[in-house]
């Protein structure tokens, strides 16, 4: 295992951003950056041994300060949506940024953790990024300290270990927003990818993507991925939930969630034979099919567009803070935030 570093640009705070690359004996490489604790590239072999980068992203740190699609970055303190950009905690009402109509998405588009500079420390097979955030920033309570550790093993598994503490109770719901395309980041649409989810229920949402509070069965609907099928097979179906979101952009409820590491997804790319198996300790996953990627230039001049990558964002459910029936995303005091997500790569 080896870790190398090169300059990746400069953060608006004036600090130099480094690109950290972890390599294993199989030639797999994962590159990470201080800006947003981002996964910048993941290079894995296909069935013929040909390497390709399978995540969307940019060539320079400066481009991650725009990044309207949130390519590769860590979202926090609150991933996904908060209805009416408001929540009540211990008798106090908090108002956060209304940046998606009247609702809140990913904490704050400019001040969120995805655009912050994270301090970094390397280990033998890992890079740990750390961040501190003050009470009241973006409207969230609590002085928070968080870390995200990326590690790579010799079985081509990328592990993400999140940890967070706060001096008062607050929302801590972190995720990584990587977009995967197992044929290669520059290979076009992912509608031919085959996906299986260990999730027999999902959380239906309204037209603004705020969950209704219901847990609905996927059986008999286009939301059913309990048996592997192509992403594009039913994405255009005449189904209200898909029409609301312009395709798949919903939270699936991971079967049997008990806080232990569980296999929740298998993604296959038929042409290259690349496979990604995903595991998490969290209760939900936002499967997003890249319905809103605007045409733009990414790494090595690649042009990204609609559905050129998909996300499997592990998380507490959207708007959990306002839905007491959902798993509790409030941490702080004696309750520390701790979660693990793993993406393991292989071939068929």
**Does residue 114 form part of some domain?**
no
Q: Catalytic one among 183, 185, 250, 313?
A: 313
Is residue 342 in a domain? yes
Domain residues for the domain of 194 are 2-109+119-347
Cα separation of 314 and 264, whole Å?
10
Residue 195 in domain = yes
Residue 278 belongs to some domain of the structure:
yes
Specify the pLDDT at position 137.
98
Low-confidence ranges of the chain (pLDDT < 50): none
Q: Which pLDDT does position 230 carry in this prediction?
A: 98
Q: pLDDT tens digit string along 118-167?
A: 999 999 999 999 999 999 999 999 999 999 999 999 999 999 999 999 99
What pLDDT was estimated at residue 38? 99
User: Is the residue at 264 inside a domain?
Assistant: yes
Sign of the Cα pseudo-torsion (56, 276, 73, 294, in order): positive
State the CATH number of the domain containing residue 185.
Answer: 2.70.98.10
State the SS3 of 210-268: CECCCCEECCCCCCCCCCCEECCCCCCCCCHHHHHHCCCEEEEECCCCCCCCEEEEEEE
Q: How far is CA 89 from the centre of its chain?
A: 25
124 labelled catalytic: no
With 0.95 as the threshold, say if the pTM is over it: yes
Domain-located, residue 43: yes
| pLDDT in the model for residue 259 | 98
- Whether residue 58 lies inside any domain: the answer is yes
**What pLDDT score was predicted for residue 115?**
98
Alpha carbon distance 70, 106 (integer Å)? 9
pLDDT at 141: 98
> Which residue in the list 11, 114, 177, 193 is annotated as catalytic?
177
Confirm whether 271 is domain-assigned. Answer: yes
Q: How many domains does the chain have?
A: 1
Q: Is 177 known to be catalytic?
A: yes
Backbone conformation region of residue 53, classed left if phi is above 0, alpha if psi is from -120 to 50, else beta: beta
Binding residues for beta-D-galactose: 80-81, 177-179, 249
């Amino acid at each position: 295992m080896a870790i190398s570093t090169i300059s990746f640009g400069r953060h608006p705070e004036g600090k130099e951003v480094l690109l950290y690359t972890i390599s294993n004996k199989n030639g797999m490489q994962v590159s990470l950056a201080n800006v947003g604790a981002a996964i910048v590239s993941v290079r894995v072999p296909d069935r013929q041994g040909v390497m390709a980068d399978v995540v969307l992203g940019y060539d320079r740190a400066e481009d991650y300060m725009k990044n309207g699609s949130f390519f590769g970055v860590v979202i926090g303190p609150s991933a996904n949506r908060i209805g009416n950009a408001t929540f009540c905690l211990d008798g106090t009402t908090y108002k956060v940024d209304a940046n998606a109509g009247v609702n809140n998405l990913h904490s704050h588009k400019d001040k969120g953790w995805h655009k912050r500079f994270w301090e970094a420390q390397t280990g033998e097979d890992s890079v740990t990024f750390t961040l501190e955030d003050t009470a009241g920033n973006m409207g969230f309570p609590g002085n928070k300290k968080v870390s995200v550790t990326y590690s790579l093993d010799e079985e081509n598994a990328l592990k993400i270990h999140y940890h967070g503490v706060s001096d008062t109770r607050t929302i801590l719901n972190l995720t990584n927003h990587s977009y995967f395309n197992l044929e290669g980041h520059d290979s076009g649409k992912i509608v031919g990818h085959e996906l299986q989810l260990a999730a027999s229920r999902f959380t239906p949402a309204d037209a603004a993507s705020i969950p209704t509070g219901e847990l609905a069965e996927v059986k008999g609907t286009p939301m059913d991925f309990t048996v592997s099928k192509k992403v594009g097979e039913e994405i255009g179906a005449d189904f209200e939930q898909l029409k609301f979101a312009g395709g798949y952009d919903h939270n699936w409820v991971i079967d049997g969630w008990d806080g232990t590491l569980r296999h929740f997804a298998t993604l296959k790319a038929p042409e290259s034979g690349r496979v990604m198996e995903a595991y998490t300790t969290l209760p939900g996953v936002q499967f997003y099919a890249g319905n809103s990627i605007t045409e733009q230039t990414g790494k090595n001049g690649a042009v990204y567009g609609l559905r050129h990558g998909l996300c499997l964002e592990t998380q507490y459910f959207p708007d959990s803070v306002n839905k007491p029936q959902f798993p509790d995303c409030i941490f702080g005091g004696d309750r520390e935030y701790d979660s693990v997500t793993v993406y393991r790569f292989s071939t068929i």
